[in-house]
Amino acid sequence: MSDFLAFRSANTARSFTLLGLGAVLGLGIAGYALFTAPGTSTLIVAPEDVASVNQRPVSRIDFDAQLRTLYDVSPTEATPEQRKHVLEAMIREEIFVQRGIELDAAGADPAARAALVSAVEQQIVAESQTKQPTPADLEAFYRQNQAKYMSEGTMIVRDLVAATPDQAAGALQALRAKAPLDTTMAKFGLKDTGRTKDEEYYFAARIHLGDADFAVAQKLAAGDISEPLVRPDGVHLLVMSRNAPPVALAFAVAQERVVTDWRQANGARLLKGDETFLRKRANVLIAEDLR
């Protein structure tokens, strides 16, 4: 033993022992790397999986989720039959998916093609979703897209209609002279069309009045009455009681929407970039008549 550990002098047994140890260690490391590298064919199911089908993993997270969805039980609570049923269903799905790839299902089946396109789009966008915007990113996006972050704009407007231009002109004169509305309507035979009612958002008022009359109404301040508007059903007067045009929302108010929009814009940009790259990489030949 003392000779074995006497490193100043040569020792054949020590040399062979260290050589053997080194070889065993090397083989151990190589074997470990070989059998644990992703995609390596092994007989071992990884702890995060519940099965492996032709080296394709069947995820334990998905298995647990299926148990909860189908039986409302946790993996511990599940009976052996429930576990077996879910596992068999998941293995069957994986086998059929693999067979579908072999048969080039995406080449012929429109539903499979659409699902594949959607899956690839999602994968591209998913990468962008894990990137978090900084407060500076959000504020810059908010400033660049200020027009999107406006209040809705509201108005209270009555749409009155007279049978003749004279009646409308008389009513307009009376109303601008501050005559009471009800009296004036009765005196000049004006009727409320009922197209607008109470306070409305701008978008609703536009739908109810139509684009042309809404454009007139939008310019009226509270207390204003429009010039007579000649329309097929008579001569209209718009009486504005309140008009609150859209105003810019403060960043704090719009922040939640800004985050959502920032993510969408980021995803769309990434999708476009990936599509450009894929198009460049693809060998696309176009028929002569469509060039």
Partner 1 sequence: MKPRTAALLGLAALLAGAGAWMWHGRDLDRRMVMADPDVLPADLFAHAVPLGRETFAAHCASCHGADGKGDSARGVPSLVDIDRLYGAGTVGDIEQIIAHGIRAANGKSRAFAIMPAYATARPSPTEAIPPLTPGDISDVIDYLLKTGNPESARRGATIFGDRGGCFDCHGADAKGDPAVGVPDLTDAIWLSGDGSRDALYNTIARGSAGMCPAWLGTLDARALRATAVYVHSLSHPATPPLPSR
Q: Note the residues at the interface with partner 1 (CB under 8 A).
A: 5, 7, 47-48, 59-62, 64-65, 68, 74-77, 119, 121-126, 129-130, 132, 152, 154, 198-201, 203-204, 207, 252-253, 255-257, 259-260, 263, 267
- Nearer to partner 1 (CB atom), residue 62 or residue 192: 62
- Nearer to partner 1 (CB atom), residue 187 or residue 274: 274
Q: Residue 176 and residue 192: Cα distance in Å, rounded?
A: 18
Q: How far is the CB of 48 from partner 1 (least distance, A)?
A: 3
- Nearer to partner 1 (CB atom), residue 60 or residue 85: 60
CB 106 within 8 A of CB 223: no
- Structure-derived torsion over alpha carbons of residues 178, 183, 188, 193, reported in degrees to the nearest 10: 100
Q: 152: number of CA atoms within 13 Å, CB side?
A: 10
- Nearer to partner 1 (CB atom), residue 61 or residue 230: 61
Q: How far is the CB of 227 from partner 1 (least distance, A)?
A: 27
Q: How far is the CB of 88 from partner 1 (least distance, A)?
A: 20
- Nearer to partner 1 (CB atom), residue 57 or residue 170: 57
Paired sense of beta strands 234-244 and 229-231, if any: antiparallel
Environment class of residue 168 by beta-carbon count within 10 Å: exposed (0-12), middle (13-18) or buried (19+)?
Answer: buried
Q: Residue 97 and residue 100: Cα distance in Å, rounded?
A: 5
Q: How far is the CB of 177 from partner 1 (least distance, A)?
A: 31
Q: How far is the CB of 155 from partner 1 (least distance, A)?
A: 10
Q: How far is the CB of 217 from partner 1 (least distance, A)?
A: 16
- Nearer to partner 1 (CB atom), residue 65 or residue 212: 65
Q: How would DSSP label each residue in 212-257?
A: HHHHHHHTPPTT-BPPPEEETTEEEEEEEEEEE---BPPHHHHHHH
